[in-house]
Amino acid sequence: MVLCSQSFLLLLAVVLVAFNISSLVAAWDNGNKIKSATFLSPMFVLGPGSVENRYYYNVDFPRGHIALKSFNAEVIDDAGNPVPLDETYLHHWVVARYYQRGNAVITEANHKQKFRGSDFMLAKNAGLCQGGVNRHYFGLGSETRKTATHVPDPYGIEIGNPAEIPAGYQERWLLNIHAIDTRGVEDKLGCTECKCDLYNITVDEYGRAVRPDYEGGLLCCYDKTQCKLRQGFQGVRRSLYLRYTVKWMDWDSSIIPVQIYILDVTDNGKRIDGSTGIGRENGCQVEYNIQSCDATGRELDIKRTSLTFPSTGYVIYGVAHQHSGGLGSTLTSQNDVISNATETTLSVMLPLGFFELLSGNCVVLMIDVSHNPCSSAIVVNDGRVLCTSLPIYGQGKEAGNEAGYIVGMSTCYPETGSVKIDAGEKLLLESNYSNHQKHTGVMGLFYLMVAEQTPKHVPLLLDPVHIQENLKLSPYTWLVAAVSAVAITIAVAALLWLRKGREDAYEPIMG
């Protein structure tokens, strides 16, 4: 990695400051048990309209037998400044666990070069999609900055358990970052939704022709593609990083492990044996399109799927992932609805699924019956709500509050033991979008963390008195605080100075 020494020192300062701040926060959290570290991804370089979709192997991550407590991330420039979404749109980042045999030679790749074979084994989350689809540990997109990810006490995501790591293998982490630079582009939303005509794409990353009715999505904005710029726009290429903060605790028997499930509203339930990818006929499609249904005068597109949950447990955390235009998503239990209603859902949904595949047309399921191709009859959802997650749209210009973008998703932290799912239970996942305009390549994922057990008794840590005590800072912490304050002052001064010198080199933010 080549960096000018100035930026490097500054980065170092920023990272150190970030680290100290996190350590401080950690000191308040959990009787000093929560540790925190902030890392930088490998550098990626984006010019106006360009796309990076890279896989970084063996990235920095806490090691050992530990319980993960949170993962937060954001894109920064090489001076450590957060980069707003209307300049660099973070389509998604994904953190996955894998086992590596021997010494890997590949450290970085794009989707096409992704290495497979017996030296590499994805350590998957608990489900539900086919093969390696949606089997990562953490992953968000534009909503990263304002979405809570913490796992509450006494729960944790168990990793690094030597008993689980296959003999001869090492546990490692891979990071996939898909970012789109939309400075100076003709159509910002179109570029972020990967509309094929804006990328002038007719052949996908693997050299296969993109089918003519595929208007947009991941096949058209792969690594090193270029979105259409406004005539004559000139802008500099710039170096970027994903800065991520991981919190964790050393594993101990008082921690209750949680399993991660990722549900996908495009999941039609089909599993083709031996298939690992996203075939048109295969389970989770990950993406779908929203047709503009102006003719109906409706502003709402509802997509639903019915899924069978494989094991029994208690929901600890829930959050949806949607793209711009998203209006929220709900996960409902259908077991409480009379059993015949469930049968109806399935029999209605399967033909619709076929319809969707054959016509590639409207993928929209609406409640009311009408003759409009965008509307269809579907069961009324009156089950028990497990979690509703709503988007937070930005209202300004600054990073974390960009107007028109989803900058956060609300999360569910049900009271301990209050939301139980039984093995074999039918769940209904519903993803609402505005169909005021057409959207391509949107997503309707739902992340769940589920614990098989609940704590036997309420742990002392949840007791307010103890929280108070934990808030009292030790003399050492005060020292760290004082040092941090000095470090922050120096870093801010340095940032301001560096920024001043750089201003001319940077393109202004384009609306």
Say whether residue 327 binds ligand NAG (CB under 6 A): yes
Size of the site for ligand NAG (CB under 6 A): 13
Least CB distance to ligand NAG at residue 444 (A): 11
CB atoms within 10 A of CB 84: 21
Q: For the CA atoms of 446, 266, 138, 133, what is the dihedral angle to 10 degrees?
A: 150
Among 306, 432, 440, 484, binds ligand NAG (CB under 6 A): 432
Least CB distance to ligand NAG at residue 328 (A): 3
Query: What Rg value do the Cα atoms of the chain yield, rounded?
Result: 23
Q: SS3 sequence, 93-157?
A: EEEEEEEEECCCCCCEEECCCCCCCCCEEEECCCEECCCCCCCCCEEECHHHHHCCCCCCCCEEE
Least CB distance to ligand NAG at residue 433 (A): 9
Say whether residue 435 binds ligand NAG (CB under 6 A): no
Among 338, 369, 460, 479, binds ligand NAG (CB under 6 A): 338
Say whether residue 370 binds ligand NAG (CB under 6 A): no
> How far is Cα 348 from Cα 378, in angstroms, rounded to an integer?
7
Residue 202 structure tokens: 């007719």
Say whether residue 329 binds ligand NAG (CB under 6 A): yes
Least Cα distance to 181 among 225, 144, 232 occurs for: 225
Least CB distance to ligand NAG at residue 256 (A): 29
Say whether residue 345 binds ligand NAG (CB under 6 A): no
Compare residues 75 and 429 and give the one whose CB is closer to ligand NAG.
Answer: 429
Least CB distance to ligand NAG at residue 430 (A): 6
Say whether residue 302 binds ligand NAG (CB under 6 A): yes
> How far is Cα 345 from Cα 338, in angstroms, rounded to an integer?
12
Compare residues 72 and 330 and give the one whose CB is closer to ligand NAG.
Answer: 330
Q: Is 477 exposed, middle or buried (0-12, 13-18, 19+ CB in 10 A)?
A: middle
Q: Residue 219 carries which DSSP code? A: G
Q: Is 58 helix (H, G, I), strand (E, B) or coil?
A: coil
Least CB distance to ligand NAG at residue 338 (A): 5
Residue in this structure with the two tokens 């094929």, named with its chain if needed? 196
Say whether residue 118 binds ligand NAG (CB under 6 A): no
Q: Which stretch binds ligand NAG (CB under 6 A): 271-279, 327-335, 347-355, 395-403?
A: 327-335
Say whether residue 198 binds ligand NAG (CB under 6 A): no
Compare residues 340 and 468 and give the one whose CB is closer to ligand NAG.
Answer: 340
Paired strand residues for 445: 264, 321
Q: SS3 sequence, 273-333?
A: CCCCCCCCCCCCCCEEEECCCHHHCCCEEEEEEEEECCCCEEEEEEEEEECCCEEEEEEEE
Q: Binders of ligand NAG among 77-116, rule CB under 6 A?
A: none
Say whether residue 330 binds ligand NAG (CB under 6 A): yes
| Polymer length of the chain | 511
Say whether residue 410 binds ligand NAG (CB under 6 A): no
Q: Which residues contact 228 (CB under 8 A, 6 or more apart)?
A: 49, 185, 186, 187, 191, 198, 199, 200
Q: Which stretch binds ligand NAG (CB under 6 A): 93-101, 136-144, 274-282, 326-334?
A: 326-334
Least CB distance to ligand NAG at residue 388 (A): 5
Compare residues 16 and 341 and give the one whose CB is closer to ligand NAG.
Answer: 341
Least CB distance to ligand NAG at residue 325 (A): 13
Q: Which residues contact 151 (CB under 8 A, 6 or more apart)?
A: 67, 68, 69, 70, 157, 258, 316, 317, 449
Q: Is 240 exposed, middle or buried (0-12, 13-18, 19+ CB in 10 A)?
A: buried
Site string for ligand NAG, 5-44 (x = CB under 6 A): ----------------------------------------
Q: Which residue of the chain is nearest ligand NAG when measured via CB?
A: 328
Among 339, 347, 418, 468, binds ligand NAG (CB under 6 A): 339
Say whether residue 328 binds ligand NAG (CB under 6 A): yes
Residue ranges in contact with ligand NAG by CB under 6 A: 200, 202, 300, 302, 327-330, 338-340, 388, 432
